[in-house]
C-alpha cells in the first residue's frame, strides 16, 4: 500500500545518501582520480584536433575553461558560449597566451534565456559549415525557486532546457560533420534521485531544495543523452560525471560542502579529463552511444538497490512535456503566456470540479455516518429498554413480594393480638367465676 511504498522510498533515500557519500569519498575525490589515472593511457588523448570545431557552453570558467585550454593546445577551433563577456575575454587571452592557438571565438549568450538560445542556434547553423563536438557544460544551482517571464524555473532552464535546445538546435551541423560527438556534463548527484517526468518546474517540491532540483536536472540530462543516442545514430552521445572538483561554482553554490571537502577536491583539470577524453579519443567511440562515464569508463546510471530506475513510459512523458515547453517557446511570448493562462484556468476549473465532487462524496459519507449513528443510537436505546424491562419486572415482583409479606405479617400480628385478647377475656372470665365461687363458699 501507499504507506509501505512511502516507507520503502524513505528508507532507500537514506540508503542512497549514505551509499553515495561512501562512494564519493572513495571515487569522486582527488584520491579517487589518482587511483583511476593509473590505468589511463596518455596516447588516447594525444590527438591532433586541427580543424576540429568544438563548441563549449560556459567555456570561460571552471571545467569549461580547463577543457577549452586542453583542446586549444591540440589545435581545435573553439567556439566559447559565455554569459559573462569580461571573464570570456580574459579566458580567450589566457588561451592564446598559453597555447598559441588564436582560433578561439566568443559568443555572448545567457543559457537561462531559452528564446535567446534558440535564436543563437539558428544563427550559428546559418553562419557555420561544420561542428564536430558540442560540450554542454554550462550549469546552474540556485537555492530559491526563481521563474522567468515564461514561467520556467531557473535550474531547469539552464541545465535541462538549455542542453536540449543547444543539442537539437545545432543538430543540422553535427549531422553533416565527420565523427561528431555530444558530451553532456552531468553530475553523480543525479544518482540520488529518480526521474520525475511531470513536475519539471518543481511546483510540488515543498520546501524547495536547490540541491534536489539540480540533481533532478542532472538526471534529466542523462535520460536525454540516451534518448538522443536512439534518435540520432550518426552522432555519438555521452554524459559524464567530473567528480568533486574545486571550481568557483562549487565554492559559491555549495559552501558547506566545499569547506568539508576542500582538501580532497579534484583540480579543474582532473575534473575535465574525461570531458576531453570523450571529445577526442578513439576509444571513447568504441563504447555504445548514450552511456554515462566517470574517469574514462562507462559506469551504471543507478546505485544498486536504490529504486531510481524509471520506466520507458516515464521517459516518454518527460520528453512530451519537454517538447510542449519548446513548442510554446516557438510562439510569441504573449501567445505562449495566454496559452499558459488558459491551461491554468482549465486546470483550475478541473481542480474546482474535482474538489466539488470530493465535497459531495464527503457530504454523502457524513450523512451516511449520521444515519448510522442515529441507527446505532436507536438500537442502543432499544437494548437499554430491553435490559430495563426484566429489571423493572424484578423490581415489581420484589415490591409485590414485600407487600405480600407485609400483609401477611400484619395478619399474623392481628391474629396474635386477637389470641391475646381472647386469652385475657378468658382469664378474666375464669377469675370472675373463681371469685364468685369463693364468695359463695364464704357465705
Residue 132 lies inside a defined structural domain of this protein: yes
Active site amino acids = 214
| Residue-by-residue DSSP string for 143-207 | SS--B-TTS-BHHHIIIIIHHHHHHHHTHHHHHTSTT-EEEEE--GGGGG----SS-TT-TT-SS
Asked whether residue 108 carries a pLDDT value surpassing 50, the answer given is yes
Helix (H, G, I), strand (E, B) or coil at 54: strand
Report the CATH number at residue 14. Answer: 3.40.50.720
H or E element in which residue 397 lies? helix 333-442
Mean of per-residue pLDDT scores for the chain:
84
How many CA atoms within 13 Å lie on the side-chain side of 249?
A: 18
Task: Say if residues 232 and 345 touch (Cβ distance below 8 Å).
Answer: no
Bond into 20 cis (ω within 30): no
Residue 233 lies inside a defined structural domain of this protein: yes
- Using a 10 angstrom Cβ sphere, with 0-12 exposed, 13-18 middle and 19 or more buried, the burial of residue 266 is buried
What pLDDT, in 10s, does the model give residues 371-408?
Answer: 544 555 554 555 444 444 444 445 555 555 555 555 55
Residue 432 lies inside a defined structural domain of this protein: no
Helix (H, G, I), strand (E, B) or coil at 46: coil
* pTM of structure: 0.75
What pLDDT, in 10s, does the model give residues 314-325?
Answer: 999 999 999 999
Question: Which whole-number Å values give the CA distances from 2 to 223, 299, 361, in the listed order?
Answer: 27, 32, 22
Residue 207 lies inside a defined structural domain of this protein: yes
- DSSP bridge partners of 294: 297
129: left (phi over 0), alpha (psi -120 to 50) or beta: alpha
Confidence band of 344 (pLDDT split at 50, 70, 90): very low
Asked whether residue 276 carries a pLDDT value surpassing 90, the answer given is yes
Beta strands 297-298 and 133-136 are: unpaired
Residue 353 lies inside a defined structural domain of this protein: no
Residue 81 CA to residue 169 CA, distance in Å, equals 14
pLDDT at position 159 is 98
Other Cβ atoms less than 10 A from the Cβ of 417: the count is 10
* CA torsion, ordered 266, 272, 275, 277, to nearest 10 deg: -90
Domain count, the chain: 1
Q: Which three cell numbers stand for residue 262?
A: 576542500
Locate all alpha helices (DSSP H) within 59-178, ordered by sequence.
62-73, 85-99, 114-127, 154-156, 162-169, 171-175
Residue 263 lies inside a defined structural domain of this protein: yes
Choice between 359 and 132, residue whose per-residue pLDDT is larger: 132
Report which of 245, 308, 332 is spatially closest to residue 64, judged by C-alpha positions.
Answer: 245
- DSSP bridge partners of 298: 293
Residue 76 lies inside a defined structural domain of this protein: yes
Question: How far is Cα of residue 74 from the mean position of the Cα atoms in its chain?
Answer: 43
Tally of residues, the chain: 443
Which of 224-228, 308-312, 356-360 has the least mean pLDDT?
356-360
Angle formed by the axes of helices 312-329 and 333-442, to 10°? 130
pLDDT, average across residues 53-71? 98
Report which of 134, 137, 122 is spatially closest to residue 180, judged by C-alpha positions.
Answer: 134
Confidence band of 13 (pLDDT split at 50, 70, 90): confident
Confidence band of 339 (pLDDT split at 50, 70, 90): low
Domain containing 21: what range?
Answer: 1-332
* DSSP state for residue 44 in the 8-state scheme: G
Amino acid at each position: 500500500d501507499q504507506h509501505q511504498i512511502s516507507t520503502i522510498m524513505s528508507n532507500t533515500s537514506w540508503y542512497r545518501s549514505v551509499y553515495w557519500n561512501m562512494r564519493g569519498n572513495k571515487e569522486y575525490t582527488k584520491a579517487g582520480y589518482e587511483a583511476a589515472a593509473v590505468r589511463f593511457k596518455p596516447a588516447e588523448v594525444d590527438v591532433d584536433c586541427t580543424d576540429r570545431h568544438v563548441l563549449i557552453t560556459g567555456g570561460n570558467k571552471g571545467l569549461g575553461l580547463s577543457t577549452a585550454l586542453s583542446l586549444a593546445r591540440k589545435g581545435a577551433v573553439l567556439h566559447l558560449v559565455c554569459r559573462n563577456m569580461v571573464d570570456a575575454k580574459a579566458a580567450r587571452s589566457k588561451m592564446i597566451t598559453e597555447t598559441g592557438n588564436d582560433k578561439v571565438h566568443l559568443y555572448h549568450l545567457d543559457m537561462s534565456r531559452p528564446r535567446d538560445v534558440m535564436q543563437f542556434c539558428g544563427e550559428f547553423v546559418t553562419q557555420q559549415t561544420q561542428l564536430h563536438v558540442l560540450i554542454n557544460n554550462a550549469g546552474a544551482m540556485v537555492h530559491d525557486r526563481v521563474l522567468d517571464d515564461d514561467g520556467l524555473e531557473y535550474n531547469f532552464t539552464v541545465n535541462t532546457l538549455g542542453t536540449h535546445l543547444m543539442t537539437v538546435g545545432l543538430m543540422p551541423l553535427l549531422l553533416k560533420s565527420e565523427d561528431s560527438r555530444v558530451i553532456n556534463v552531468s553530475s553523480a548527484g543525479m544518482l540520488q534521485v529518480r526521474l520525475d517526468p511531470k513536475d519539471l518546474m518543481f511546483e510540488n517540491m515543498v520546501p524547495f531544495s536547490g540541491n534536489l532540483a539540480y540533481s533532478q536536472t542532472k538526471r534529466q540530462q542523462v535520460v536525454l543523452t540516451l534518448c538522443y543516442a536512439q534518435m540520432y545514430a550518426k552522432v555519438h552521445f555521452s554524459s559524464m560525471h567530473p567528480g568533486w572538483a574545486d571550481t568557483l561554482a562549487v565554492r559559491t553554490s555549495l559552501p558547506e560542502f566545499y569547506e568539508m571537502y576542500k582538501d580532497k577536491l579534484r583540480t579543474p583539470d582532473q575534473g575535465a579529463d574525461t570531458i576531453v577524453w570523450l571529445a577526442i579519443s578513439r576509444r571513447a567511440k568504441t563504447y555504445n552511444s548514450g552511456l554515462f562515464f566517470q574517469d574514462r569508463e562507462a559506469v551504471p546510471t543507478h546505485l544498486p538497490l536504490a529504486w531510481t530506475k524509471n520506466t520507458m513510459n516515464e521517459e516518454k512523458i518527460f520528453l512530451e512535456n519537454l517538447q510542449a515547453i519548446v513548442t510554446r517557446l516557438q510562439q510569441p511570448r504573449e501567445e505562449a503566456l495566454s496559452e499558459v493562462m488558459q491551461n491554468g484556468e482549465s486546470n483550475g476549473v478541473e481542480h474546482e470540479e474535482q474538489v466539488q465532487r470530493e465535497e459531495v462524496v464527503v457530504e454523502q459519507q457524513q450523512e451516511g455516518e449520521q444515519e448510522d449513528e442515529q441507527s446505532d443510537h436507536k438500537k442502543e436505546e432499544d437494548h437499554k429498554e430491553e435490559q430495563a424491562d426484566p429489571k423493572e419486572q424484578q423490581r415489581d415482583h420484589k415490591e409485590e413480594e414485600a407487600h405480600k409479606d407485609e400483609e401477611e405479617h400484619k395478619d399474623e400480628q392481628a391474629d396474635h393480638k386477637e389470641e391475646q385478647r381472647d386469652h385475657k377475656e378468658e382469664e378474666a372470665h375464669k377469675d370472675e367465676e373463681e371469685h364468685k365461687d369463693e364468695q359463695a363458699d364464704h357465705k
